[in-house]
Amino acid sequence: MNALIDDFFTYVHPLCPFPHEPSFREAWERREDYSNPAFLALLASMIAALVASFPRKPRLHLKLQGRNHYPSHLSLVDKCREVCAQARGPGYLDRPNLNVYDACTSYFLGLTGAYIFQWRQLRLYFGECQTILRSLGLHKSPDQPYTLFDRNGHGANASNFDPAIDLKFDKITEQIGHRVFWTLFVGVR
């Protein structure tokens, strides 16, 4: 796994500059994949994107270790997507602790769909990624206020405006959110 993670940060991360590498590597050293299902889903989606985009490199790593459990790179991609789906579980979008890494996971699953020509998965996961970013407010500039609209089209000055909805994030989370949003925006265009 270390070789696959290194390959991801070498080959995929320059094009998709998320997740935050030092934070991710610290979590990997703590082996959060055993205790944090969201981290396991992110890891599986990262490996799926790597294998789909560079199929020979991961196959070489697995062959050198004597692990030939996967007859083709698509079978490894399918296994990663299965692990991701099981780690996320049903109703994961309803979790109160939904975060920017869930958006990263959706982005990588969509990117995987693009690399293996599964356009439906691409559209579904990219749409999900955008929805997560927008629900967290990470699609906008930090100095832009959160705007709610009521039925009559009244904005932030409306009587039902709740400033508690405007979430505050640390700088790493804000930057990852902006990177995912703009990578998604430019990639779709």
Spatial distance between the Cα atoms of 142 and 171, rounded to a whole number of angstroms = 10
Q: What is the pLDDT of residues 44-83, one digit of tens each?
A: 999 999 999 988 777 676 666 666 677 788 888 999 999 9
| pTM attached to this predicted model | 0.83
Per DSSP, the residues of 73-138 read HHHHHHHHHHHHHHHH-TTGGG-TT--HHHHHHHHHHHHHHHHTT-HHHHHHHHHHHHHHHHHHTT
Q: What is the pLDDT of residues 73-88, one digit of tens each?
A: 888 899 999 999 999 9
Q: Is 70 helix (H, G, I), strand (E, B) or coil?
A: coil
Confidence band of 31 (pLDDT split at 50, 70, 90): very high
Kindly report which listed range (131-135, 138-142, 146-150) carries the lowest average pLDDT score.
146-150
pLDDT of residue 78: 94
Domain ranges of the chain: 2-188
Average pLDDT along the chain:
84
